[in-house]
Chain A
Amino acid sequence: MSELLELLWEAFKGEAHEQLESLEQAMVVDDKTTIDVAHVFRTLHTLKGSCAMMGFASMETLAYAAETMLDPVRNGARTFSDEMVVVLREVVAALKQQMDDVNKTRANPEPQPLLEQRLRKLMEESQ
């Protein structure tokens, strides 16, 4: 089965890299109204799923927290605040850092509890 794991790893690496690039591009705009929230949400959702499959739980947790915070924005139940944009940019940077670590160690990277906490706080405020 280690052969399957190698194939999975290669597929994951390529896919995650593309998704992180796509997230970064989506978030680097001056006018936040031009951010494609649905695209960011979907990309985080997919990334979360493949991280879960690979056992990179820290990335899964962070992507899930960000996705969950974005859900009411995507549904039009809440406006996309400046603070959300700031936190999301930090999330993308943190996910990229985690992915760099994963590339070196192929093990679950360090979690990001403070970012997760900020995401949860933003989510609670939206309720």
Chain B
Amino acid sequence: MSSIKRSSSHDASAVSAEVEAENLVIQHEVIIDLHQDACVHEHVFLGGVHATRKPARLITILGSCVAICLYDTKNKVGGMNHFVLPGSPPAHESDHLRWADTSIAELFIKVIDLGASMQSLQAKVFGGAQLADRPGLAELKIGERNINHALQELSDRNIVVSNRCVGGSAGRKIVFEPHTGNAWVKEFHRVIH
């Protein structure tokens, strides 16, 4: 089971190959033709924050984690974060960017530094799934808390959420173009069973 959705206000003509679900655990499969142009491809891993002014495709894989994609098409700047847990890091945490508060703040700092304006920034929000194979952790609803946290932070900053693909029980692969704001989502309904 797998599906491709293109989260964009534009037409969906760029979506191509669908990949067998069995192969999806490997991180390097192609979900759209990533080599069709000279775009730089950057993987944004757990606790990662990446912003750029250059044409690029930012790629990430999410379970209960959340990625916020910020873009300002007027100033042609955008970026993506990938946070793991809601709230602020505890005192002993060595990697602060794993936490929502610090990660989101860092993303905003980076895109503003590169010339984005708060008035023209928009957001797309992805992830926050409840993964069925984690019964112990499922009760804590980390995915749901991550989504709520992201949406609240964006609302507090008056940022319009133009699209979202959140919740549910599927893992997701996201490909995001910061310079256009286009994003592609592939859901992994049954990754390895």
Q: Do A and B bind each other?
A: yes
Asked if B140 is an interface residue, CB under 8 A from chain A, the answer is: yes
> Cβ of B192 and Cβ of A4 under 8 Å apart?
no
Q: A45-B192, A49-B63, A53-B64 are in contact. Are A2 and B137 (CB under 8 A)?
A: no
Partner of B133, one of A41, A46, A71, A107: A46
Shortest Cβ gap from A42 to chain B (Å): 6
A60 and B131 CA atoms in complex are apart in Å by 17
Is B160 interfacial (CB 8 A cutoff)?
no
- Closest-by-CB residue of B relative to A43 is B133
Cross-chain contact of A42 among B92, B131, B193 (Cβ < 8 A): B193
Cβ–Cβ < 8 Å partners of A113 in chain B: none
A68 to B27, alpha carbons, bound, how many Å? 11
Contact B140 A11 (CB under 8 A): yes
Within 8 A of A (CB), among B114-144: 131, 133-137, 139-140, 142
Expressed in whole angstroms, the minimum distance between the Cβ of B83 and any Cβ of chain A is: 11
Contacting chain A: which of B1-9, B49-57, B93-101, B175-183?
Answer: B93-101
Give the residues in chain A near B33, CB-CB below 8 Å: none
From A1, A42, A67, A75, contact of B90 by CB (8 A): A1
Contact partners of B93 in chain A: CB under 8 A: 55
| Chain A positions 28-55 with a Cβ under 8 Å from a chain B Cβ | 41-42, 45-46, 49-50, 52-53, 55
Judging by beta carbons under 8 Å apart, are A4 and B84 in contact?
A: no
- Chain A: number of interface residues, binned into ranges: 20 to 34
Given contact pairs A11-B137, A52-B46, A55-B98, enumerate 19 new A-B contacts (beta carbons under 8 Å).
A1-B85, A1-B86, A1-B87, A1-B89, A4-B86, A5-B90, A8-B137, A11-B139, A12-B137, A15-B134, A15-B135, A42-B192, A46-B133, A46-B134, A49-B63, A49-B134, A53-B64, A75-B22, A107-B94
Q: Tell whether B17 is near chain A: CB-to-CB under 8 Å.
A: no
Evaluate contact between B140 and A2: CB separation under 8 angstroms: no
Give B159 Cβ to nearest chain A Cβ, in Å.
Answer: 23
User: A7 at the A/B interface (Cβ < 8 Å)?
Assistant: yes
* B26 touching A71, Cβ below 8 Å: yes
Among A14, A42, A46, A53, which residue has the most Cβ atoms of chain B within 10 A?
Answer: A53
Least CB distance from B74 to A in Å reads 35
Q: Does residue B25 face the partner (Cβ distance < 8 Å to A)?
A: yes
Q: CB distance A4 to B87 under 8 Å?
A: yes
Verify B193–A52 contact, CB threshold 8 A. no
Set of chain A residues within 8 Å of B95, measured between Cβ atoms: 55
The 5 closest A-B pairs by CB, nearest first: A1-B87, A11-B136, A15-B136, A11-B137, A2-B90
CA distance A5 to B87 in the complex (A): 10
Interchain nearest-CB distance for A110 vs B (Å): 15
CA of A12 to CA of B140, assembled, Å: 11
Taking CB atoms, residues of chain A closer than 8 Å to B191 are 45
B88 close to A (CB within 8 Å): yes
Q: Given the complex, which residues of B lie within 8 Å of A46, measured CB to CB? A: 133-134
